[in-house]
Copies of this chain bind each other. A is one copy, B any other.
Amino acid sequence: MKLSYNTWAYSSFFVWVPAYTLDDTIARIAKIGYDGIEIGAAAPHAYPPHLSADRRAQIKDLLQQHDLKLSSMLPAPSGGPGNNPASPYIEERRATVEHYKELAEMVALWGGKTLIYLPGWTIFGTSRRQAWAWSREVLTEVADSIAHTGVTLVIEPTTHDTNLCVSADDAIELMQDVNRPNVKLMFDTFHVLWNHEVMTDYAYKMGADLKHIHMSDNDRLPPGRGVGDWPALIDALLDIEFDGYLTMETGFHRRGIEPDEDARVSLEFLRPLVAEREALRGIKPNSK
């Protein structure tokens, strides 16, 4: 099983400082020992309007030099542009469609296969059915537009952050409603724990459609530092033959976190655990 680290902790989203260039971030994450990197589309790293073709080519080279794979990308929701596919404002929904399309191009350029889709949230005054319909439209249009890229969109339910697609069931239903071959599923353990649900339930429910996962203990602590049942989760992922990246999405939520430490601590906890659970099934560990 491969490990990836999300770049928020090194960027200015959510917390503005400390922040490092994407060059620095790639070097550090690779040095710490990760297989992959999940790049968030936020300044100063990867906000599409800020990246020239040359810069995009440069990033591609950096990834290769450091032998770091792009596990995935995702937009930075909210903030100025919002990127809420369920917004009552058509301007925001249109801009969100275009943003996802740009991101898919970047994912493909950098050799990745996975783009996280955040279904959005209802603004008070919008019925949930209307918001759902809008989000489904956006997702469908994006999925069709990017079919040529080979990139798969993975729907992320979020309990703490939103109110539209919050559970495994919600995500499954949205995937079914959209019904496209390049639309699959993911989940984020932080959100499962925040809503006091069971992490393995999500794995088994999503099954073969689970293509990506965000790993975080409660309170955005690195996995292993909180209450999550990590051995059980790894076993469940092995059961369903999950072959995506275990991607840490931690260390970005408050001032005072050292990103390198956050990344290292997660790796030091998960690598041995994954190796141990795999060994029990006769699977050789990932050699990196």
Q: Which residues of A contact B (CB under 8 A)?
A: 12-21, 24, 41-44, 47, 49-52, 75-84, 87-89, 91-92, 95, 99, 121-125, 127-129, 160-163, 167, 169-170, 172-173, 196-201, 204-205, 229, 232, 255-256, 258-261, 264
Q: What residues of chain B lie closer than 8 Å to A232, measured between beta carbons? A: 258, 260-261, 264
> Is B50 touching A255 in the complex (CB atoms < 8 A)?
no
Cα of A52 to Cα of B89 in the assembled complex, Å: 11
> Is A95 touching B18 in the complex (CB atoms < 8 A)?
no
> Is A12 touching B44 in the complex (CB atoms < 8 A)?
no
Q: What residues of chain B lie closer than 8 Å to A229, measured between beta carbons? A: 258, 260-261
> Is A13 touching B84 in the complex (CB atoms < 8 A)?
no
> Is A18 touching B79 in the complex (CB atoms < 8 A)?
no
Q: What residues of chain B lie closer than 8 Å to A79, measured between beta carbons? A: 13, 42-43, 76-81
Q: Smallest Cβ distance from A191 to chain B, in angstroms?
A: 11
> Is A121 touching B19 in the complex (CB atoms < 8 A)?
yes
Q: Smallest Cβ distance from A281 to chain B, in angstroms?
A: 14
Nearest 4 A/B pairs, CB to CB = A79-B79, A43-B82, A128-B169, A196-B256
Q: What residues of chain B lie closer than 8 Å to A163, measured between beta carbons? A: 17-18, 167, 169, 197
Q: Which of A19, A129, A259 has the most CB of B within 10 A?
A: A19
Q: Smallest Cβ distance from A13 to chain B, in angstroms?
A: 5
Could you pull out 29 A-B pairs where Cβ atoms are within 8 angstroms?
A: A12-B77, A16-B121, A17-B161, A17-B162, A18-B197, A20-B124, A42-B78, A42-B82, A43-B78, A43-B83, A44-B82, A44-B88, A44-B123, A47-B81, A47-B92, A49-B91, A76-B80, A79-B81, A80-B83, A127-B172, A128-B167, A128-B169, A128-B173, A129-B169, A196-B256, A199-B258, A229-B260, A232-B260, A232-B264
Q: Smallest Cβ distance from A268 to chain B, in angstroms?
A: 10
Q: What residues of chain B lie closer than 8 Å to A84, measured between beta carbons? A: 12, 16, 43-44
Q: What residues of chain B lie closer than 8 Å to A125, measured between beta carbons? A: 20-21, 24
One of B18, B44, B198 near A87 (C-beta < 8 A) = B44
> Is B128 touching A78 in the complex (CB atoms < 8 A)?
no
Query: Would A78 and B14 be within 8 Å (CB), given that A173-B129, A232-B264 are in contact?
Result: yes
